[in-house]
Amino acid sequence: MNDRSTAITAPLGRWSSRIALFSACLMIVDVGLHRLTSFPTPVALNLFFVSAAGAGLAILIALIAFAQIWRRGYKGAGSATVGILLPVLVLAWPLTFLPAYLGQPPLNDITTDWAAPPRFVELAKFRTTGMNPTTYPADRFPPEQKKAHPDLRTFTIDRSLEETFELVEEAVRKLKWRVAVAEPPVGRSAKSGRLEATDQTLVVGFTDDIVVRVEGNASRSRVDVRSASRYGTHDLGQNAARVRRFLTELQTRVDSTSPAAVAGRRSHRAGALVKRLKERDQKKAESRKKLDRAQSSAQRGRGQKETQR
């Protein structure tokens, strides 16, 4: 029987908890700096992989420490437990993206027009060395996108070119994208409008570029959108989800400005105006009655004074 007071503490148990704590702090600081500041994305990715590797190393050392504790009766089971649980908590969030990574094709550029996708002009100036190119890989991505996201197609509506571009701007403002440039169709000879913007992923804050192209005439328009990641070969479905949110928001804007909706709003405004006019007339009538009562009271008062005199 081992004496617990004189038992040796397993050194690997302490080291596992220390490495686990360091890896967790490194990942939290790394994500926070990248999300809230202009911390470089390549450096943030390298630190992320270092922290993930540290978490895996902490788990491995903790398992060896448990083996020593079991065979030799060492102390330090609490430290070894921390060396396992803390890395598991740290790696639990990245592992939630594993189904998306395995279940979706490696795409980082999504568009609704595979034949002639909208081009980046203003945002292309921000694509530096080490980032993904702005040229759409038309030879590889369309077949994969058709299989994974067949619902992402050109958005066509029976509206004028100018009105459609205004709806696009409203949808972009609703989604809180950062607009880099907006070129509305101007003049009778205008054939298209273009809007470029950026958006960030929710937690880590990866910056993605978006371009929206509006083409059409005085009665019918078509809207194409493209969302592309600046870094990485796999976007985990983020660009496709962003395009869907935009198309859904644009459809909401179109439905809210349909002729029936506009007529309903006009009827509501007309009813409210009639109600306000009636209330105003009623107030005027009441004020006239009060004025008449006051005048009649004053006349009676003067008549009584004359009678007394």
Residue keyed to tokens 């908590």 = 89
φ/ψ (deg, to 5) at 28:
-65, -45
Judging by DSSP bridges, how do beta strands 221-229 and 207-216 pair with one another?
antiparallel
Give yes or no for a contact between 250 and 155, defined as CB atoms under 8 angstroms apart: yes
Q: How many CA within 13 A on the CB side of residue 205?
A: 14
Q: How many CA within 13 A on the CB side of residue 147?
A: 9
Given a cut of 90, whether residue 268 has pLDDT beyond it is no
Residue closest to 199 by CA, chosen among 234, 165, 224, 235 = 235
Question: Which amino acid, 149?
Answer: H
**pLDDT tens sequence across 12-39:** 888 999 999 999 999 999 999 998 888 9
The confidence score (pLDDT) of residue 5 equals 43
228, with CB counted inside 10 A (0-12, 13-18, 19+), is buried
**pLDDT tens sequence across 63-122:** 999 988 888 877 888 888 999 999 999 889 888 888 888 888 999 999 999 989 999 999
**pLDDT tens sequence across 299-309:** 555 555 555 54
145's tokens: 């996108």
CA atoms of 228 and 238, how far apart (whole Å): 9
Given a cut of 90, whether residue 248 has pLDDT beyond it is yes
- For the entire predicted model, the pTM comes to 0.76
The confidence score (pLDDT) of residue 272 equals 57
Given a cut of 60, whether residue 148 has pLDDT beyond it is yes
Which region among 160-174, 193-207, 246-260 has the lowest average model confidence (pLDDT)? 246-260
The neighbouring-strand residues paired with 9 are: 75
| pLDDT confidence tier of residue 275, bands split at 50, 70 and 90 | low
Give yes or no for a contact between 172 and 195, defined as CB atoms under 8 angstroms apart: yes
Alpha-carbon torsion (190, 194, 156, 178), positive or negative: negative
